[in-house]
Amino acid sequence: MEKTTKPHNDSLFHSNSEIEKRDLRRRDFLKFAGASAASLAILGMSSCKKDHDDGMDNGGKGLYFGSGDIAILNYAYALEQLEAAFYIQLVNNPYTGMTDMEKAFFTDIRDHEIAHREFFKVALGAKAISSLDLNLSGINFSSRENVLATAKTFEDLGVSAYNGAGWLIKDPNYLLLAGKIVSVEARHAAWVRDMIDNGSFANMEVVDSNGLDVAKSPSVVLSAAAPFIKSKIDVSDLPTY
């Protein structure tokens, strides 16, 4: 481990108390949640008034995700679009001092996210939402620290999204697919975390005292992702809780 992963902030994992950890996690979340009125306005969840009883009307409402499993697949497709775009830009604009291993592994992750994105697009066919207009302008791609922090946020968020949406899926084949993808996202998350602080692959920010990872509802995940999504989206029939 020592030979290949260079801890850049040794003290973080070892000196912080659990309380400070929780605080950090909360701050991370709040930073990316961007819980502004504007970002929340795009989220018309199932709990709101239904506008799509016929499942057809998406005029003027933004990109319609559909309902049921289709909506969940489009939700995953949207998250994979975001991740793929981030890693494409990261690999195209490497920060100063990116090691060969970092470059190789980030390129791998980029290709995984593209594979996920393209898979969902093909699997959804005519029901797929179109490509999202994304906003990555807040990310400083020349900063290793900022890039890794963003990657960590996206990967942990992706894991929590699949974990939290699993029980909403009706078709066992789709559930299995989600399971095949989420463990790869967790492998990414662990590696990115180790690049920030060797040994933080599954620390108390993401694993609780029962040994359980984070699970988040679609509405919570989309709130966190909202600052990065410029397209207007209509998730009024997306199952959530």
Which residues of the chain form contacts with other proteins (CB under 8 A)?
1-5, 7, 88, 91, 105, 108, 110-116, 118-119, 122-123, 159, 162-164, 166-167, 169-170, 172-173, 175-177, 179-191, 194, 198-199, 201-203, 206-215, 241
**Please, which residues have CB within 8 angstroms of residue 62's CB and are 6 or more apart in sequence?**
42, 231, 232, 233, 234
Cα 118 from chain centroid (whole Å): 16
Between 40 and 227, CB nearer to other proteins:
40
Between 80 and 234, CB nearer to other proteins:
80
Distance of closest approach, residue 160 Cβ to other proteins, in angstroms: 9
Reference 12, options 2, 3, 25; nearest CA is 25
For residues 64 and 130, is the Cβ–Cβ distance under 8 A?
A: no
Between 28 and 213, CB nearer to other proteins:
213
Distance of closest approach, residue 14 Cβ to other proteins, in angstroms: 8
Distance of closest approach, residue 233 Cβ to other proteins, in angstroms: 23
- Three-state secondary-structure class, residue 234: strand
DSSP per position, 61-78: T-EE--SHHHHHHHHHHH
Between 7 and 62, CB nearer to other proteins:
7
Distance of closest approach, residue 68 Cβ to other proteins, in angstroms: 12
Q: Token digits for 206?
A: 């993401």
What's the DSSP call for residue 94? P
Between 56 and 126, CB nearer to other proteins:
126
**CA-to-CA distance for 80 and 113, rounded, in angstroms?**
6
Q: Token digits for 166?
A: 């699993």
Distance of closest approach, residue 76 Cβ to other proteins, in angstroms: 13
